[in-house]
Amino acid sequence: MHRFANPNRFLRIAALILPWSAAITVTLLVVGLYLALKVSPADYQQGESVRIMYVHVPAAWMALFVYSCLAGASAIALIWKHPLANLAAKASAPIGACFTFIALTTGAIWGKPIWDAWWVWDARLTSVLILFFFYMGHMALTSAFEDASRGERAAAILALVGFINIPVIKWSVDWWNTLHQPASIVRLDGPAIHASMLAPLLIMAASFATYYVSVLILRLRSEILARKMDALRLTRVRDSQEAHSL
Amino acid sequence: MTGFWLIVHRDVVMAWRQGGDGLMAIMFFLITVTLFPLGVGPESGILARIGAAVVWVAALLATLLSLERMFQTDFEDGSFDLIAIAPLPLEAVVLAKCMANWLLTGAPLLLTAPILAMMLHMDREGLAIFVVAMALGTPSLVFIGAIGAALTVGARRGGVLLTLLVLPLYIPVLIFGVGAVEAAVTGQSAQPHLLVLGGLLLGTLPLGLWASTTALKQALE
């Protein structure tokens, strides 16, 4: 793990991964959207609005996955003071917030025709809304201090405390028997949806995951470059001051 | 007197001499609850239905008021540096601060809440359970709040940020605090809700102490 703490080595590896992950994202997204919108059948109850699921479910999975990555990176940053882990957590938060926002909005758009309500105070919906608040709090806390590293370390603790919410979201549909349907893909007795719907769903999920990898690399790269520019500026100021004092 | 009780004593005395955080929290609590009958209307049926929730939400907001100053003032005047180098472990310092905070805001809330609940027509069975639920819930609020207070020491716009961080974490206490009263009013057993509140207290105690201590150590660096 500490091999990748060197920013220059990380930048080299990231430059190798980025074109591949970006290409895979675009390919999977095109194939996935074609299968989801064109090939897969309409639902016998929900009709065409079932297609919202192909965006909603992967976005919701990614909302949880990105938060788990954020919490994992925060733990690594707190325990080993790993310099890149802090930046990874900081770079993940806006991406995860976007995925959460997409999951909530697409859910509302789907809910209006099917449940006849934009929003219900169901356990799953409410716990995901709280996840959105945690992302917002994390971003606000990161940028709330004059000293950037202090904000990152404070946000790392918040990320770990907020991780309590993740199992609550996961099992909210089992603990509280309310409107949102329980899990139908990851189950002991196999997925409960037909292969013609499962395939586009999984392809979309894979493309969302590679999208996260690509954007994370881009954001991390710009964070590292911003740090380097700060350091350069500081040395330049110091040099000019020394030149004056001579 | 050991260091632990010295800190509790100091915080209580200082707050008392500065006009009392507790009094401000109570006034805020009273005014917020008073707004609801004015807004919703004075029918006793509706007020009895929403009373527990209104008083709990107002109590959550009232505890937020005193949190901002929990560690911030000590950091500003430099006394926290001295407290930190004293032999008392930082966890014990945080526990003492939490205890002082509860004595100043939680305990007065606990005393006034039943009066407000009665004014909102909560019935007798509900009232007894409500007091027990408040007694179990308010210490949890302090431990959770301490995390937010410690994280935002030295932050810009600390007060607003604190609200954003702490209120989502308050939600479980609100749900089971109101749930206990609703169960009692509708003739069901309030015990499961009270047990969960007790469990939350046992969980937030170590979590709050660990997270606040870690955050304070970072602020001291």
Distance between CA atoms of A91 and B221, rounded to whole angstroms?
24
Residue B22: which pLDDT band, with cuts at 50, 70 and 90?
low
pLDDT in tens, A1-22: 666 677 788 888 888 999 999 9
Q: Which domain holds residue A90?
A: 31-179+192-240
Whether residues A144 and B152 touch (CB distance < 8 A) is answered with yes
For residue B206, the distance in angstroms to the closest alpha carbon of chain A comes to 12
If you average pLDDT over residues B130-150, what whole number do you get? 94
Contacts of A165 in chain B (CB under 8 A): 168
CA A36 from chain centre, in angstroms, equals 22
Contacts of A79 in chain B (CB under 8 A): none
Distance between CA atoms of A198 and A23, rounded to whole angstroms?
23
Percentage of the residues of chain B whose pLDDT score is greater than 90: 40
Alpha helices in chain A (DSSP H): 7-34, 53-80, 83-115, 123-142, 148-162, 165-175, 195-245
Whether residues A133 and B164 touch (CB distance < 8 A) is answered with yes
- Could you tell me the CA-to-CA distances from A167 to A127, A205, B179 in Å, in that order? 10, 20, 21
Report CA Rg, chain A: 21
Cβ distance B145 to B67 under 8 Å?
yes
Cβ distance A15 to A93 under 8 Å?
no
Whether residues A154 and B152 touch (CB distance < 8 A) is answered with yes
Mean confidence (pLDDT) of chain B: 89
ipTM associated with this complex: 0.82
Domain ranges of chain B: 3-220
Contacts of A67 in chain B (CB under 8 A): none
Residue B1: which pLDDT band, with cuts at 50, 70 and 90?
low
- A22 falls within a domain: no
Cβ distance A214 to A54 under 8 Å?
no
Nearest to B164 among A78, A136, A160 (CB): A136
- A10 falls within a domain: no
Instruction: Using a CB–CB cutoff of 8 Å, tell me whether B149 touches chain A.
Output: no
Among A144-148, A190-194, B136-140, the minimum mean pLDDT is found in A190-194
On whether the pTM is more than 0.90, the answer is no
Q: Which of residues 160-199 of B touch A (CB under 8 A)?
A: 161, 164-165, 167-169, 171
Instruction: Using a CB–CB cutoff of 8 Å, tell me whether B154 touches chain A.
Output: yes
Please count the other Cβ atoms lying within 10 Å of the Cβ belonging to residue B97: 24
The chain A residue lying nearest B147, using CA atoms, is A158
Residue A57 above 80 pLDDT?
yes
Contacts of B155 in chain A (CB under 8 A): 141, 144-145, 151, 154
The chain B residue lying nearest A155, using CA atoms, is B151
Which of B164, B166, B212, B216 to substitute to test the interface with A, most A CBs within 10 Å? Answer: B164
pLDDT in tens, A210-229: 999 999 999 999 988 888 89
Residue A246 above 80 pLDDT?
no
Judging by beta carbons within 10 Å of its beta carbon (0-12, 13-18, 19+), is residue A240 exposed, middle or buried? exposed
- A5 falls within a domain: no
For residue B161, the distance in angstroms to the closest alpha carbon of chain A comes to 7
If you average pLDDT over residues A72-84, what whole number do you get? 90
- A16 falls within a domain: no
Contacts of A78 in chain B (CB under 8 A): 214
Distance between CA atoms of B213 and B93, rounded to whole angstroms?
9
Whether residues B164 and A153 touch (CB distance < 8 A) is answered with no
Cβ distance A233 to A89 under 8 Å?
no
Q: How many domains does chain A have?
A: 1
The chain A residue lying nearest B164, using CA atoms, is A137
- A72 falls within a domain: yes
Q: What angle do CA B120, B126, B128 make, to 5 degrees?
A: 110
pLDDT in tens, B69-112: 889 888 888 888 888 888 889 999 999 999 999 998 889 899 99
Q: Which of residues 71-130 of B touch A (CB under 8 A)?
A: none
Q: What angle do CA B113, B98, B2 make, to 5 degrees?
A: 125
pLDDT in tens, A178-213: 677 777 766 666 667 777 788 888 999 999 999 999
Whether residues B158 and A144 touch (CB distance < 8 A) is answered with yes
Please count the other Cβ atoms lying within 10 Å of the Cβ belonging to residue B118: 14
Mean confidence (pLDDT) of chain A: 87
The chain A residue lying nearest B221, using CA atoms, is A150
CATH of the domain at A120: 1.20.120
For residue B29, the distance in angstroms to the closest alpha carbon of chain A comes to 25
pLDDT for position A147:
83
Q: Which amino acid is at A87?
A: L
Residue B134: which pLDDT band, with cuts at 50, 70 and 90?
very high
pLDDT for position B97:
93
pLDDT for position B13:
87
Nearest to A153 among B155, B211, B218 (CB): B218
- A111 falls within a domain: yes
